[in-house]
A and B are shown apart, each in its own frame.
Chain A
Amino acid sequence: DVKVTQSSRYLVKRTGEKVFLECVQDMDHENMFWYRQDPGLGLRLIYFSYDVKMKEKGDIPEGYSVSREKKERFSLILESASTNQTSMYLCASSPSGRVDNEQFFGPGTRLTVL
Chain B
Amino acid sequence: AQSVTQLDSQVPVFEEAPVELRCNYSSSVSVYLFWYVQYPNQGLQLLLKYLSGSTLVESINGFEAEFNKSQTSFHLRKPSVHISDTAEYFCAVSRTGANNLFFGTGTRLTVIP
Contact = CB atoms under 8 A, between A and B. Distances in A.
Interface of A: 4, 9, 31, 33, 35, 40-43, 45, 48, 50, 90, 92, 94, 96, 99-108
A99 B105 contact: no
Contacts of A108: 41-43
Interface residues of B, number: 24
Contacts, number: 56
Identify whether the interface residues of B are mostly helix, strand, loop, or mixed. Answer: loop
Question: Which residue, of A31, A92, A94, A99, has the highest number of chain B Cβ atoms within 10 A?
Answer: A99
A6 to B, nearest CB: 8
Contact of B9 (A40, A43, A96): A40
A48 B102 CA distance: 13
A41 B34 contact: no
Interface stretch (B67-75, B77-85, B92-100): B92-100
Contacts of B98: 101
A66 to B, nearest CB: 15
Interface of B: 6, 9, 32, 34, 36, 41-46, 49, 51, 90, 94, 96, 98-101, 103-106
A41 B43 contact: no
B100 A105 contact: no
B43 A102 contact: no
12 contacts: A4-B43, A40-B105, A42-B6, A42-B105, A48-B100, A90-B44, A99-B96, A101-B98, A101-B100, A105-B36, A106-B43, A108-B42
A101 B101 contact: yes
Question: Which residue, of A92, A100, A105, has the highest number of chain B Cβ atoms within 10 A?
Answer: A100
B86 to A, nearest CB: 16
Nearest to B36: A105
A50 B100 CA distance: 10
Shortest beta-carbon contacts, A-B, top 8: A42-B105, A105-B43, A101-B94, A105-B44, A43-B103, A100-B32, A107-B43, A42-B106
